[in-house]
Amino acid sequence: MRASAGRYWQNVCKNGGRTARTARRMVLVFAVLFCTAGIQGQAAHVPSPMSAHPVIISEFSKVDVVPDGNLGSFWATAKRVRFNEAAFTRKKYPKAETIVASRWTAKYLYLAFWCHYQKLNIFEGEDPTQERWGLWERDVVEAFIQPQPDQPLHYYEFEVAPTNQWIDLEIHLHRNPFNNAKWNSGFEHATRIDAAHHIWTAEMRIPIRSLNSEGITRGAEWKLNFYRNDGPGTGYARRKMSWGALPLNSAAALFHQPGSFGTIRFAGPGE
């Protein structure tokens, strides 16, 4: 691939018929190809061309709380974002809207999810204290967090189901396998199901030290994305939604698209 790229640019210089705009486009094409090749066909690093990257504001808290899934006063003034669109087609699912909020302290990053649903699809009768591989095959919320912008292929994945089952993974897209299931963040989580209103909620408390970060400072920005799997059945027939838009009709159909991540901005109170 590198040799082919070199011959292409030699022809461009020789013929002189390419415009600067075309050359810039080809640079982007080859950059995407190189990144994809480095992931050994397991996941794609393809920037999203559809829309501007979204932003969520995470406000500082002087006090820490233990997650209980009720999403009470600690979350009352937190700024919220919403999404209900299919990750790869942008088809809207208004009855499966997901609302997300975030707060942070000196020790923890907090995430809250409000998930509208029609009928739950869960792993029943299992022990929620044990990490559950394949949790994404049922209803779940997911957060992919990338605190180090100079390492776009390295980030962390957190998932919680309505049953409070969970999994956390360290992701290195340039490795095979790219997901390290042995990694343990020590994050805490809790859920509640409001069957009368068809809403389930999830609350995560993630130790900042587990993210290989020196800490959060006011005004800092990280990259991240939120996802939701919802609906009956298994596999790709289910509703797979994302906050940051992924490449339309992606052949890989994977959530692991760090070029499509949005931004979390860490603010002080009242900002």
Q: How do the pLDDT tens digits run along the chain, 271 residues long? A: 323 333 333 333 334 433 333 333 333 333 333 333 333 333 443 443 445 699 999 999 999 999 999 999 999 999 999 999 999 899 999 999 999 999 999 999 999 999 999 999 999 999 999 999 999 999 999 999 999 988 999 999 999 999 999 999 999 999 998 988 889 999 999 999 999 999 999 999 999 999 988 899 999 999 999 999 999 987 777 999 999 999 877 666 789 999 999 999 999 876 7
CATH of the domain at 238: 2.60.40.1190
Tell me how far apart the alpha carbons of residues 234 and 155 are, in angstroms, rounded to a whole number. Answer: 26
Question: CB-based contacts of 125: which residues, under 8 Å, 6+ apart?
Answer: none
Same domain, 242 and 122: yes
Within a domain: 231: yes
Closest CA to 142 of 155, 117, 160: 160
215 and 241, same domain (yes or no): yes
Give residue 76's domain range.
55-267
Q: Are residues 250 and 165 part of one domain?
A: yes
Contacts of residue 271, defined as CB under 8 A and 6 or more positions apart, other chains included, come to: 57, 59
Cis bond before residue 207 (omega within 30° of 0): no
Looking at the 3D structure of the chain, how many domains does it have? 2
Q: Characterize 94-108 residue by residue with b for buried, 16 or more Cβ atoms within 10 angstroms of its Cβ, and e for exposed.
A: eebbbbbbbbbbeeb
Q: Give dist(CA 138, CA 161) in Å, integer.
A: 8
- pTM of the predicted structure, to 2 decimals: 0.81
Judge whether 157 lies within some domain: yes
- Selection from 208, 244, 189 nearest residue 104 by Cα: 208
Claim to verify: residue 31 and residue 96 sit in the same structural domain? no
Residue 167 belongs to a domain: yes
Element (H, E) at 175: none
Of 24, 16, 43, give the one whose Cα is nearest residue 247. 43
Residue 188 backbone dihedrals phi, psi, to 5 degrees: -105, 155
Shared-domain flag, residues 212 and 157: yes
- Spacing of C-alpha 182 from chain mean position: 20
Both 185 and 222 in one domain: the answer is yes
Residues 30 and 59 grouped into a single domain: no
Alpha carbon distance 222, 217 (integer Å)? 11
